[in-house]
Amino acid sequence: MSTATASRSSSGRSSARSLSRSGTTSMSGSGSAENLPPRTLSRVAREVRSLLKDPPEGVKLVVDPETGTPASLAELQAEISGPTGTPYESKYFQLKLVLSADFPASPPRGYFQTKIYHPNVDMSTGAICVNTLKKDWTSVTKFAHVLSIVRCLLIVPFPESSLNDEAGKLFMDSYEEFSRRARLMADVHGRPRPFTEMVDCGNGGLDNRTGQKVKELSGDAPSRSELKRGISSATMSSSSLPVHRGGRSMSGTSMRSSGSLSRSSSVGSNGGALRNSGNSKTGGGVKNKKKSLKRL
């Protein structure tokens, strides 16, 4: 009995260690859509479409510029603009919501991917502590509500449930010093412009900043086939150039610049014309003299 009890105890400890390791991996790792059932994927897809169509203030989903959709439905990435009047103003911060296999029964886990100095954000992992992702979570809570609450957290932190004790204490004791440090971190790690300000290839080639049509490269630069045709035609034209007495074609001569080439060609043509005209005159005079001698 003691042996069986000891074996059960050791197996229990090993299973606990394995659960701990898996929990640590899932916290720091990313979610996989393969772990979500089809019904859950359908719900996530509907919410993603809603977020893309009508995003909350200061929040945008980060999507693949080619497909216009998130890279993974099990790990939604978003960008939050720093609210006005806060140390995070005019900066942009990325975060992600990682869905577990039993979503929506359990809330997603939120992480800031941009380093940020905040009482409710872990400095090392970026984990976010907010009641919406804990005790206030329900199976009908929407992603839009979660992202709005996280942005509001940048306006009104909750130092009572802080993950960064230093920031929480500083927020309570000296807001000016807290604001200075938070602003310093935001200036170093925050983006001065939104990550989502890029050419949306799936939106008809429109620039998200200006809404203007972006010029396609094919209209400005030749394609590979055109380059090959140009090279082959240039080779053929060079081989058909006239050959000089020395056996070298015009392609063998080198000019330092296009300007010198044009000048030399113009001078050569003019000189040739002069020589030809001179030769024609002198040649005509010699023939006339010979005819007059014969008559004599």
What residues are labeled active site?
129
Structure tokens, 16: 């606990």
C-beta of residue 96 within 8 angstroms of C-beta of residue 110: yes
Its sign, for the CA torsion 19, 25, 31, 34, is negative
Its sign, for the CA torsion 278, 281, 286, 289, is negative
Q: Strand pairing of 92-98 and 75-81?
A: antiparallel
Q: Residue 141 CB: number of other CB atoms within 10 A?
A: 16
Q: Residue 218 CB: number of other CB atoms within 10 A?
A: 8
Q: Strand pairing of 199-200 and 109-112?
A: unpaired
Task: State the Cα–Cα distance between residues 230 and 227, nearest whole angstrom.
Answer: 5
Side chain identity at 203, as an amino acid letter? N
C-beta of residue 152 within 8 angstroms of C-beta of residue 201: no
E-strand ranges in the chain read: 59-61, 75-81, 92-98, 109-112, 199-200, 206-207
Task: State the Cα–Cα distance between residues 84 and 96, nearest whole angstrom.
Answer: 22
